[in-house]
Chain A
């Protein structure tokens, strides 16, 4: 699989605050890549930085930021907007407010296609919209075209957002916590829909979430983010089977797994909160919360390989966990 989106050494700063500090990740064509981490660790900012949607006043720097081999760093606003909505699309956490209240669903959907495919007639654009609304599981799609966002439920709006993102057959879909604001039953439907779309259309999806249950179900590959850095990245199975970074292990310990976790065993939790990283900070940002912190953690932490396509950023040896468990037993 070739890389569709390559991000290396991404930094985003808002004035003095560093929101992303050297994050790296790669999304291959046709794969679902999950970006996980607690709130405030820079997941959304990373996604917005890739899309070129950061708020005014944010500064973005990267060693590499490329989409389908094309360097995004040097692109003008205009060239970037040609790419957005066409070859790379994004959906957001808040379906209730992400659609413009003043325009019909049909108008908002056709506008993307007609922007990126000049010369498309309104009728053809509407046909495409109906087709996609049907594809994302909306009943009576033709009727929905004339409706306004306020007439739709949250789940329906998120489906409309997804259909709208697919209008131009993008190669990459970035989904920023698309199910967080929805009912649990609807969450599952939307996830199933995304997984199906990914399979059928060969779409690459960068799915941002803090829910490891979601990750286990849909991801091919997982990157774990902490305080603006990717601390571990691995194929899903490898990550769940043998998490290397203490933070990843901590996250996994918070998830109850039937069969694996005993009935009366308390669920894990990571003490403390994501710290605010002051300018000029060096070393591992997790060391204040880490049970294995050592003096070396204050220096620059190397990236280590723990297996094929499995990398993590820690001073501990790749096999520290297995050794520790062996010592216990």
Chain B
């Protein structure tokens, strides 16, 4: 077990290193970053000035090492546009994105678990098919479009929730629902499949032969085992949701790191973009590691090994 986790940790570190390189190279793709930064109306002299000011005249590998060395100390550089430390900008916005992700995950689990269980218990009935239809619809729904529809219905027509912005908890509800929609189908299918397997298993037959109550059979015995993969996938899903939050934060003008990234992309503010890519990727790596830990904690067979 310890060996397994150590190996996973090693892989996670290697992935982190790879991601750092990718996010650095990403912003150097366009060729001359200085031209992009200086803007369309800059003269040749301006560009030269920018190039020297940001150290872009140095060889690429030197820039890379410099960036890595600083990043390792928590210094992600300075924003061209916001005139602030990138680390500060991200630290300010990250709680918003994390809250959004958690709200989305909670909604997703609150919907996916009961429906998945219901579908499994009523396998091959109209209930099951109705639930699978919900999954199919959820999968086909473009998130940004769903966001707009919710704005029209819940925001404008019914007036229940604020249409956009960042302020109170209400601002998280609609984006949370939209984000949840992307995770619900897979979590629901997984719950259903896990429950069907569990309910057909020999240990459930034993539990029934013991005369346990229906609730105990369903929750204590079946769900406990079906939940193991769901929990670890949920952690990974949270990572995907954070990565996908850029679309939703932009739709709802929710000022998290996704919105920050979108603003920075349109402003050619590359130190920020590069840092957001890095931070989101690192969070994802951390979450997959967490998923392994959760898996091990929940499954006695892994825990002891």
A residues near B, CB below 8 A? 51, 53, 77, 80-86, 89-90, 92, 94, 97-103, 111-112, 115-116, 148, 150-151, 161, 164
Contact = CB atoms under 8 A, between A and B. Distances in A.
Contact of A84 (B201, B211, B214, B221): B211
Contacts of A51: 209
A90 B221 contact: no
Interface string B284-305: 0000000000000011110010
Interface string B201-228: 1110111111111101000010011001
Interface string B226-263: 00100000000000000000000000000000000000
B198 to A, nearest CB: 9
B225 A101 contact: yes
A148 B301 contact: yes
B210 A164 contact: yes
9 contacts: A80-B211, A98-B206, A99-B203, A100-B221, A101-B299, A112-B210, A115-B212, A115-B213, A150-B300
A164 B301 CA distance: 21
B205 A92 contact: yes
A194 to B, nearest CB: 17
A167 to B, nearest CB: 9
Given A84-B210, A102-B225, 13 more contacts: A82-B211, A83-B211, A85-B212, A89-B210, A94-B202, A100-B203, A100-B206, A100-B221, A102-B299, A102-B300, A112-B211, A112-B212, A150-B301
A111 B212 contact: yes
Contact of B224 (A82, A84, A102): A102
B202 A97 contact: yes
Given A81-B211, A100-B221, A148 B304 contact: yes
A92 B210 contact: no
Contacts of B214: 77, 81
Contacts of B299: 101-102
B211 A101 contact: no
Contact of A150 (B210, B216, B304): B304
B225 A89 contact: no
A34 to B, nearest CB: 20
B202 to A, nearest CB: 4
B200 to A, nearest CB: 9
B301 A116 contact: no
A143 to B, nearest CB: 14
Nearest to A104: B300
- Chain B binding surface SS class: helix
Given A150-B301, A151-B304, A98 B203 contact: yes
Among B202, B214, B216, B299, find the residue whose CB has the most chain A CB atoms closer than 10 A. B202
Given A100-B221, A102-B225, A53 B203 contact: no
Contacts of A89: 209-210
Contacts of B202: 92, 94, 97-98
A58 to B, nearest CB: 13
Contacts of B210: 84-85, 89, 111-112, 115, 164
Interface string B163-207: 000000000000000000000000000000000000001110111
A181 to B, nearest CB: 11
A92 B211 contact: no
Given A97-B201, A99-B203, A101-B225, A115 B211 contact: yes
A111 B209 CA distance: 12
Contact of B205 (A53, A83, A86, A148): A53
B212 A101 contact: no
B290 to A, nearest CB: 20
Given A85-B209, A111-B210, A100 B225 contact: yes
A-B pairs with lowest CB-CB distance, top 6: A85-B211, A84-B211, A85-B210, A97-B202, A100-B203, A148-B300
Contacts of A98: 202-203, 205-206
Nearest to A115: B212
Among B205, B298, B299, find the residue whose CB has the most chain A CB atoms closer than 10 A. B205
Contact of B211 (A97, A100, A102, A116): A116
Contacts of A92: 202, 205-206, 209
A111 B203 CA distance: 14
A144 B190 CA distance: 33
Contacts of A115: 210-213, 216
Contacts of B212: 81, 85, 111-112, 115
Given A97-B201, A99-B203, A101-B203, A84 B209 contact: yes
A53 B202 CA distance: 12
A201 to B, nearest CB: 18
Nearest to A90: B209
Contacts of B224: 100, 102-103
A89 B210 CA distance: 7
Contacts of A116: 211
